Structure 1
Amino acid sequence: MPVRRFSCPLRTPGRPGPIRPAHPRRAGASLRSAAALLIACLALAACGPVWNDPYPVAERGEHILYTAFTERPKHLDPVQSYSEDEASFLYQIVEPPLQYHYLKRPYVLEPATAEAMPSLRRLDAGGRELPANADPAKVVRTVVEVRIRPGILYQPHPAFALDEDGSPRYLGLGEADLRAVRGLGDFAATGTRELEARDYVYQIKRLAHPRLHSPIFELMAEYLPGLQELQAGLVAATKEGRASGAAAKDDPPGWLDLDRFALPGVEVVDRHTLRITLQGAYPQFLYWLSMPFFSPVPREVDRFFAQPGMAERNLTLDWWPVGTGPYMLVENNPNARMVLARNPNYRGDAYPCAGESGDAEAGLLGDCGKPMPFIDKVVFSREREGIPYWNKFLQGYYDASGVSSDNFDQAVSLTSQGEVTLSDDMRDKGIRLLTSVSPSIFYLGFNMLDPLVGGGASKAEKERARKLRQAISIALDMEEFVSIFLNGRGLPGMSPLPPGIFGARAGRAGMNPVVYEWQGSEADGRPVRRGVDEARRLLAEAGWPNGRDAQTGEPLVIHLDTTPGGLGDKARSDWLAKKFRALGVQFVVRPTDFNRFQDKIRQGNVQLFFFGWNADYPDPENLLFLLHGPQGKVKFNGQNAANYENPEYDALFERMKAMPDGPARQQIIDRMVAMLQHDAPWIFAFHPMSYSLQHGWVLNRKTGAMVRNTMKYQRIDLERRAAARTEWNAPVTWPLLLVAALLAALVAPAAIHWRRRETATAAPGAAGSGARGGR
């Protein structure tokens, strides 16, 4: 920036000349520039938050919810998608037959596209129907019948567009037809049709498609054996390069028309009814009917996307899911922005009128009975770094945010009793804190095949190993771990079952008596972790007094196998080593890359490892199966990474998994949990807690990890949001005004000097001219 507005002095040779100001026009231009800058500053000051608003002007005042995503979705095809990052999008677009009630806890299933809850008939070997409380061992088949609500329409889509003669408009497309196509919006025509039962059957068949690799195929094939048969037929057809039977002339080459293949056990009863026959008793199947794996996929959509040239343009179901849900994906740029817009064909189901205790006081029932969705559009922006995400939330440009370790102290404070409250800054902004315990468990697992921590063949060796595991379980203070490394965002585990899952006990009944003891009265007491002296006693009884072999004096060494970024991080490793030193035990971390770590787990070449599990559905079976013997990792390649085997536990599990919730099931679960606490194959580390912040203008938002189709329930108070954004983003104009004033101060002396000189020159000239004229 120049600091002087004067040119170099002009001098006539041999004659001193006066120092002159800049050319008059330059001075005038400077004045005009300064004035223009001043006017611009004042104009910008009147524009409110326009200066830093990251969204287009055209979006202001619209019913749009703004949020962010950090990881790009890998799959949006409902047959493949199986991650939380993808669920945020997919659950708003596609609709399985069932859904979870938005407000009720514990979680309750209810109809979504289904007309009512599915009917279940349990049949014995003779085909006779059994009562609901019948012994699961007698159930040979379970018949599930789902009636779909008539009149539900798909979102507008070019796959449904028809010519005047009723034939598909966009079928048999060639390269020339697709030359100008880069997205679905480039197709001029769209159409729709009614949801039918055959669309659900078509999707169930897609689970067996050999090119799609559905992550639940193996599990579903246990209960739907026809899937194995179907997959074999599809593999054969793929190898032959044709589908069974004569293909239609417009069918894309290589496309497998699944309507040409039968799936034993799954059938269309009529236009709006499908019937699924399961092998044995599997009551948890209803939970699967609330997941996108069982959402409808129309045959014509599958055929539309299978045309040559589509995949090269990212025109696939994996990129553009199609559904009957409240929203449809209209913009997919996973590196920057993804946008969901209201489905104009959505039926507008009603907001719930009932919930759990406290929902009415929290304002969650104010929209009872009103048609949904309330929001017209949901804009997801990609945020790779936490700080920009957090700053935009504080500016009001994101409507909600999580709480990371980086901003935890700014957002949340802990009372002396350990209660979590919002900080004053957050409260002053009208921000609300929502907390919930996730249906998850993180644990340190002992490999029960390891001779040291799992024990040998004899009963005495097994008992020594059990006491060793109990001692370590006591010594590794999970309350301290959660406080230090998770900012208190976790609930120390007593068993594999998190709160909110049937079978999980609260209070003294749910306490792990091996690790904790109860202090205080039955009603007002609390569990307190046993001291390190108790751990040392158990260690000595295990044959390792003070961490040394009682016979040889050799030190006890415990190895933790982990991956970089896990418990092998230095701070966590140092904490673990400190806890083991208190027992006199040596601790060694063996970090490896992820693939090598997985190999060691599969082969049983580990001693201690750190794992976690998120429940797929709110049933104890989905957590207790992690310690079921037939799920052993080494023997059966299952999910039981600890390779725990207990015949009594396994027998109880087989009974419990197919039972309905009730006192009899609770009694079995209590016995199973007590066995796990005594045997200690896991250190039940913690159940993570979800902390979420939302601005006060976001209404009807309730946390719940199982409920993922949440966008249709939420509402935005637009006036309140606009006012807050204006207040929090008021432009700071005084630096610009100061610069303008300095510029004016620099230019003013030159302008004044020039003006005086012009005035002085003009006056004598005028007088002289008058005298000459008078002579």
Structure 2
Amino acid sequence: MSPAPPKHLDPAVSYASDESLFLMQIYEPPMGYHFLKRPYELIPLGVESFPTITYLNAEGESVEPDSADVAFSRYHLSVREDARYQPHPAFVTDAEGDALYLFTDPEQGREYGQIGDFPLTDSRPVRANDYVYAIKRLADPFNGSPMLGFMAQYIVGMKDFSNTLQLVPRNGWVNLDQYPMAGLEVIDEYNYTITIEGRYPQFTYWLAMHFFSPIAPEVDRFFRNPGFADRNLTLDWWPVGSGPFMMVKNDPNSEIVLERNPNFREDYYPEEGAPGDAEAGLLADAGKRLPMIDRAVFRLEKEVLSLWTKFLQGYYDRSGEVHGNTTGVFDQAFVVGPDGVELSDDLEDHGITVSPDVKPGIYYYGFNMRDPVLGGYTEEKRKLRRALQIAFDTEEYLNIFYKGNGIPAQMPIPPGIPGFVEGPEGINPHVYDWVDGEPRRKSIEHARQLLVEAGYPNGRDVRTGEPLKIFIDVQSQAISNTSMNWIDRAFARIGVQVEYRPADWNRTREKLLTGNTQIYSHGWLADYPDPENFLFLLYGPESPLICNCDGANNSNYEREEYDQLFRSMRVLPPGPERLDIVSRMVDMLRDDAVWLFAYYPKDIYLNNSWVHNTKRHGISKNTLKYLRIDEELREQKREEWNQPVTWPLFAAAILLLALILPGVIAYRRRLTATARQ
């Protein structure tokens, strides 16, 4: 079951989690993640081994990794020789070796409405140039990749390459192989290099994202055929990769079908995992060839309850996300027991298994640090924000609106990411105390005292006597009247009034870009498992008011010491020194009370009893190849759960007989009486 239809399936353009659900089954980027191990562990995927890194000075000469003269880092990658693309018409050639399906006008290709209409397909090995070509597509302004601005800060020559292509006439396909990029080099058929500015250890994580998956130039050329875009014959609709699956049907408002790529390389289920995986049966398939299913069907169900009914009938193998605000479904699926949320008796009888997922992400309300009332860095302003943090009871909020299906955040770094700390050392001491082995929110009386010290006794400005009113910008469709009423009451306990400023996303985004907010709502899911991916949300130069861009620092937080530590942390390799810097940065954010409240999202996925290897992976989406389905058990359960209900027919027949019988008896009596006369 797909949660939403994908809008983009071009790996250069897509930046949505729901789209990665498909892309990461079809493409293989250079790097990936171990399916079972936690903390998250990188592994080679489309390349033979981890990239080797050479450090260079400004003159391009090799220097030691710890040298102060490092100006560039050069990543050398070796492509797997057994990787092949899926069968596709783009690879078919004629007797002269030229592409067969290339047309000069729309009428020539009019008979082809979708990929299945092409009678011939072919394939070829993945080559180093395909990876280089894919990076050039990120830089092509014609594609509008969301990665261009960010990666141009790192990949040498990317900005100049993009500026060059900006001037190239667009009368059809532009062969990007004809335009060099300074930071890219194809050494031979299976080796290439990427050169980036300075040091950036996190770049290896980026190589595990679909943006860096190989794109064959002939595929790019194929989809530029005249008239193809009018029929959705585009790479954005029909992805072409070397991964375990290929797309054979794309009707995003109804059904998307993936089938096993017959050319997929040898790949095997891992033979080791995290502690407890063996006991959970997650190593039962160790060493088996992947993928273990031949076909996956994703359907878009418009009605949640209809989807839920079909799941219980066995017509879906897995549920989508089930969380506390999934109306009706959560209440049917779970009960609240002494140990928290538990499966209901009905689901226990079905043998359904649960795959909980604490996402490596965070949702939060943030303060605008430039706001004249709530912003600023004086001790009075900090105490004002801390009072509001205490009044917003996150635990109560999650219990009411998400059935407790979330974890109150003590820091901007979520569980599973280096730098996250549990226990008494990990709490925010300005908002919580550690009591009886768990964090306990400070009292409302403490919050009221902080308001007094901030100059707002009983919620009134001591200078003017005016009541303190705070303004919260919300997306119109992302908050309910019930939620707003709860927040009103939460702040009323300390005498603070609330006014909401609802707007659509475009208007809300405009306010964030111009700093025209006081309190705003936002969220972030990890692109890669590193604290940098969260701490950059409050890095000064990421403020939209500083960078004049769509920066991530919507709080406009500026503290030079924090920014200096961030720059140091960003280039350090993993280790104690880096974690110490992360800890100091987290302490600064707590001291300054930059966010009003935050929580780590927690979702639950349900699996019918015939589905195996369902462990969730918070970062990677290429987990479909590990699933195993017991088809015999599925058919058995479907038949058992969907027996025709015949008792109403028998009951109706008995009722009808009961209604008719007295009349029949009376009629027969009259006949008998007549005969006697």
TM-score by length of 2: 0.94
Distance, in Å, in 2 between the alignment partners of 1:118 and 1:414 is: 48
Deviates more, 1:164-173 or 1:297-306: 164-173
Structure 1 counterpart of 2:291, from 351, 373, 378:
373
Percent identical residues: 49
- Name 1:761's counterpart in structure 2: none
Change over 3 Å in CA distance of 1:197–1:604 after alignment to 2: same
Partner of 1:534, secondary structure, is helix
Deviation at 1:713, TM superposition (A): 0.5
Change over 3 Å in CA distance of 1:258–1:747 after alignment to 2: farther
Distance, in Å, in 2 between the alignment partners of 1:713 and 1:329 is: 18
- Superimposed CA distance per residue, residues 87-108 of structure 1 (whole angstroms, 9 cap, x where no aligned partner): 1111100111111110111111
CA contact (8 A) 1:255 1:306 kept: yes
Partner of 1:669, secondary structure, is helix
- Name 1:384's counterpart in structure 2: 302
Change over 3 Å in CA distance of 1:555–1:77 after alignment to 2: same
- Name 1:81's counterpart in structure 2: 14
Change over 3 Å in CA distance of 1:131–1:687 after alignment to 2: farther
- Name 2:333's counterpart in structure 1: 411
- Name 2:667's counterpart in structure 1: none
- Superimposed CA distance per residue, residues 73-126 of structure 1 (whole angstroms, 9 cap, x where no aligned partner): 111111101111211111100111111110111111101111001111223345
- Name 2:57's counterpart in structure 1: 124
Distance, in Å, in 1 between the alignment partners of 2:295 and 2:499 is: 52
Structure 2 counterpart of 1:158, from 89, 100, 113:
89
- Superimposed CA distance per residue, residues 38-86 of structure 1 (whole angstroms, 9 cap, x where no aligned partner): xxxxxxxxxxxxxxxxxxxxxxxxxxxxxx1232111111110111121
Partner of 1:69, secondary structure, is coil
- Superimposed CA distance per residue, residues 586-632 of structure 1 (whole angstroms, 9 cap, x where no aligned partner): 11112123222222222212111111111111111010001111111
Instruction: Give the paired residue count.
Output: 659
Distance, in Å, in 2 between the alignment partners of 1:381 and 1:669 is: 42
Distance, in Å, in 2 between the alignment partners of 1:331 and 1:740 is: 47
Deviates more, 1:80-89 or 1:591-600: 591-600
Distance, in Å, in 1 between the alignment partners of 2:400 and 2:13 is: 37
Deviates more, 1:395-404 or 1:742-751: 742-751
- Name 2:630's counterpart in structure 1: 717
Q: Larger relative contact order (C-alpha < 8 A, sep ≥ 6)?
A: 1
CA contact (8 A) 2:610 2:634 kept: yes
Deviation at 1:659, TM superposition (A): 1.1
- Name 1:683's counterpart in structure 2: 596
- Name 1:33's counterpart in structure 2: none
Residue 184 in 1 paired to residue 115 in 2?
Answer: yes
Query: For 1:172-211, what aligned pairs fall within 5 Å after superposition?
Result: 172=103, 174-211=105-142
- Superimposed CA distance per residue, residues 161-201 of structure 1 (whole angstroms, 9 cap, x where no aligned partner): 12233222212365454232221111111111011000011
Deviation at 1:740, TM superposition (A): 7.1
**1:548 alignment partner AA:** R
Structure 2 counterpart of 1:425, from 322, 341, 346:
346
Partner of 1:572, secondary structure, is helix
Deviation at 1:390, TM superposition (A): 0.6
**2:50 alignment partner AA:** M
Residue 227 in 1 paired to residue 191 in 2?
Answer: no
- Superimposed CA distance per residue, residues 515-552 of structure 1 (whole angstroms, 9 cap, x where no aligned partner): 001113xxxx1111100111111110001111112233
Distance, in Å, in 2 between the alignment partners of 1:613 and 1:527 is: 24
Structure 2 counterpart of 1:544, from 448, 451, 456:
456
- Superimposed CA distance per residue, residues 182-229 of structure 1 (whole angstroms, 9 cap, x where no aligned partner): 211111111110110000111110012222100010000000241211
Distance, in Å, in 2 between the alignment partners of 1:380 and 1:127 is: 50
Distance, in Å, in 2 between the alignment partners of 1:750 and 1:346 is: 74
Distance, in Å, in 1 between the alignment partners of 2:524 and 2:659 is: 69
- Name 2:620's counterpart in structure 1: 707
- Superimposed CA distance per residue, residues 125-159 of structure 1 (whole angstroms, 9 cap, x where no aligned partner): 45454555x27x65310000110111211110111
- Name 2:33's counterpart in structure 1: 100
Distance, in Å, in 2 between the alignment partners of 1:285 and 1:470 is: 36
Deviates more, 1:296-305 or 1:726-735: 726-735
CA contact (8 A) 1:629 1:643 kept: yes
Partner of 2:601, secondary structure, is strand
Structure 1 counterpart of 2:467, from 534, 555, 562:
555
Change over 3 Å in CA distance of 1:186–1:155 after alignment to 2: same
- Superimposed CA distance per residue, residues 235-281 of structure 1 (whole angstroms, 9 cap, x where no aligned partner): 2112xx4xxxxxxxxxxx52111111111110101100110000111
Change over 3 Å in CA distance of 1:430–1:138 after alignment to 2: farther
Structure 2 counterpart of 1:480, from 396, 419, 423:
396
- Name 2:317's counterpart in structure 1: 399
Distance, in Å, in 2 between the alignment partners of 1:90 and 1:394 is: 28
- Name 1:437's counterpart in structure 2: 358
Partner of 2:283, secondary structure, is coil
**1:278 alignment partner AA:** I
CA contact (8 A) 1:205 1:258 kept: yes
- Superimposed CA distance per residue, residues 556-601 of structure 1 (whole angstroms, 9 cap, x where no aligned partner): 111111121234x211111111111110111111212322222222
CA contact (8 A) 2:355 2:614 kept: no
CA contact (8 A) 2:539 2:557 kept: yes
Change over 3 Å in CA distance of 1:473–1:743 after alignment to 2: closer
- Name 1:256's counterpart in structure 2: 174
CA contact (8 A) 1:496 1:684 kept: no
Distance, in Å, in 1 between the alignment partners of 2:586 and 2:63 is: 30
Partner of 2:524, secondary structure, is strand
Deviation at 1:741, TM superposition (A): 8.0
Deviates more, 1:555-564 or 1:318-327: 555-564
- Name 2:243's counterpart in structure 1: 325
- Name 1:65's counterpart in structure 2: none
Q: CA RMSD in A?
A: 2.1
CA contact (8 A) 2:374 2:385 kept: yes
Change over 3 Å in CA distance of 1:478–1:130 after alignment to 2: farther
- Name 2:546's counterpart in structure 1: 635
- Name 2:639's counterpart in structure 1: 726
Distance, in Å, in 2 between the alignment partners of 1:309 and 1:691 is: 44
Partner of 2:347, secondary structure, is helix
Between structure 1 and structure 2, the one with the greater Rg is 1
Change over 3 Å in CA distance of 1:310–1:747 after alignment to 2: farther
CA contact (8 A) 2:473 2:500 kept: yes
Deviates more, 1:117-126 or 1:423-432: 117-126
- Superimposed CA distance per residue, residues 724-756 of structure 1 (whole angstroms, 9 cap, x where no aligned partner): 1111111112334566788999999999xxxxx
CA contact (8 A) 1:281 1:658 kept: yes
Query: For 1:282-681, what aligned pairs fall within 5 Å after superposition?
Result: 282-401=200-319, 402-403=321-322, 404-417=326-339, 419-455=340-376, 462-520=378-436, 525-567=437-479, 569-636=480-547, 637=549, 638-681=551-594
TM-score by length of 1: 0.82
- Name 1:20's counterpart in structure 2: none
Change over 3 Å in CA distance of 1:131–1:505 after alignment to 2: farther
